[in-house]
Amino acid sequence: DIVLTQSPATLSLSPGERATLSCRASQSVSTYLAWYQQKPGQTPRLLIYDASKRATGIPARFSGSGSGTDFTLTISNLEPEDFAVYYCHQRNNWPPWSFGQGTRVEIK
């Protein structure tokens, strides 16, 4: 299976700062990579799909980049509501899909 490794595990930042989250795949997933945000007690919310496309209603401060095995989610100018856990997810046709282990963005 494709293993997705997210780094760092925890990111401590202040509101207004820029967050850079990494997701590395053990083999190429082309651009079949999505990012989700999950807050405590809530279901995950789709932010980015196909590596760089923002989902409906997602603010422009969220952006994604990358292809192949290296991907980045950038949150420019962190808002208080952005402090959450972020997961990457690959949906290459084969091998089976998988999620990363998550990056927690916490208030410094």
- C-alpha 95/C-alpha 25 separation (Å) is 12
Residues between 7 and 66 with contacts to another protein, criterion CB under 8 A: 34, 36, 38, 43-44, 46, 48-50, 53, 55
- C-alpha 37/C-alpha 20 separation (Å) is 14
Near another protein by CB under 8 A: residue from 67, 68, 76, 102: 102
The CB density around residue 96, as the number of other CB atoms within 10 Å, is 10
Residues that bind another protein (CB under 8 A): 1, 34, 36, 38, 43-44, 46, 48-50, 53, 55, 87, 89, 91, 94-102
